[in-house]
Amino acid sequence: MSKRTRTMLLFLVGWLASALITIIWTEYQGIAFRNVYFMIEAIYLLFTAIYYLKADKKIEWLVTITSGVMAVNIGIGLYEINTGLHLSKSGLTDVIGNAQFLPSGIFFNPNDLASFLALFLPITLVYMQSRTIIGSLYKSLLVIGAVYIIIETQSRIAFILILVILFLLLFRYSWRWGTLALLCIPFALQLPGMQDTINQVNQTYTDKTNSTDLRLDITNYTWQTAKERYFMGVGPGNVQIELAKYFPAEEQNNDGAVSVHNFLLEVLANYGLLSLLFLLAFLFYLFYRSWRYWLESKEKKSEISHSAIDNTCFPIYHVCV
């Protein structure tokens, strides 16, 4: 095991250990142990990727499978948009009205689907080989389908994120093509078929005042809860139960809890400041190593670090969503 891998493992173990300490004073220990189990699963997946995915062939193989999962989700999403029907595990199965036609794919809610597509589409585009016309067509359809589904989920941050990353990848490939794409946007928006898409994007950013106010209230109460516990943490998974005291039943999930919608703030309130520092150290170190890797492989025109893309997306997305 290399020194870099040991350093990242140390940060992850520190994140977990500092979270385990908070179980001593947590109120709902059953929820705490379940939450810690999910943490262990997340650390296992992260460390497995860091330790084993070192060769491009392995990454390409994994990305090919991921692209298939993306295609399945896009297909399910299109079905949901047109029929209003969802998989049995979706959180939209009992929803009526306009929200009934939001896509969630194999995930619980539309934001989960949007984040999955926004985070993994760029990696797929970089590492999935397309030596034939069919391969290039498949990647093009993935881009079109993923962007359309993200728009339909009405996830604002995911929409901005995927557009920015796609343009960065395009400029990385060719600044001429990137400039041409930017210049063509005003003309593309005038096409008849784009009107419905423009209206959907406009609705996403103008018709969610109640949702925005709710998120701000959740953020304020979460920060207040963290301060009341002197940033030592209320215990794994417990801040969601604490938030339920401030919101009516219709804003709670089936477990009587309220989602924080802000990953880093949730870590601070649940596990405490020390745990948050370990997690931030891991993310910054991983981003730094990814950036170094990108600089070292800069001379290869088509090569970009998948870790640099993913670890730029992850903190930004989960801070905002």
So what's the pLDDT on residue 194?
67
Report the alpha-carbon distance of residue 136 to residue 169 in Å, rounded: 15
Report the alpha-carbon distance of residue 288 to residue 262 in Å, rounded: 23
Q: Are 289 and 11 a contacting pair, CB within 8 Å?
A: no
Report the alpha-carbon distance of residue 313 to residue 206 in Å, rounded: 24
pTM for the model stands at 0.73
End-to-end CA distance of the chain: 35
Report the alpha-carbon distance of residue 28 to residue 20 in Å, rounded: 13
Q: Enter the tokens of residue 85.
A: 């029907």
- Mean pLDDT of each 10-residue bin along the chain, 321 residues long: 84 94 92 92 84 74 89 94 89 80 90 91 81 85 92 86 83 71 71 68 62 84 92 92 85 80 91 95 88 67 47 46 48
Q: Enter the tokens of residue 203.
A: 């609705």
Which among 205, 214, 278 is positioned nearest to 252, based on CA atoms?
214
3-state helix, strand, coil in the chain (%, to 5): 75, 0, 25
Report the alpha-carbon distance of residue 22 to residue 54 in Å, rounded: 35
So what's the pLDDT on residue 320?
44
Torsion 75-121-148-100 (CA) sign: positive
So what's the pLDDT on residue 205?
61
Residue found by looking up tokens 């142990």 in the block? 33
Report the alpha-carbon distance of residue 169 to residue 152 in Å, rounded: 23
Q: Are 272 and 280 a contacting pair, CB within 8 Å?
A: no
Centroid of chain to Cα 125: 17
Distances (CA, A) of 243 to 217, 257, 271, 280: 10, 7, 15, 24
Residue 288, CA atoms < 13 Å, CB-side half-sphere: 9
So what's the pLDDT on residue 273?
95
Distances (CA, A) of 89 to 26, 78, 86: 30, 17, 8
The residue type at 160:
I
Any residues with CB less than 8 A from the CB of 205 and at least 6 apart, and which?
A: 156
Centroid of chain to Cα 185: 26
Report the alpha-carbon distance of residue 275 to residue 269 in Å, rounded: 10
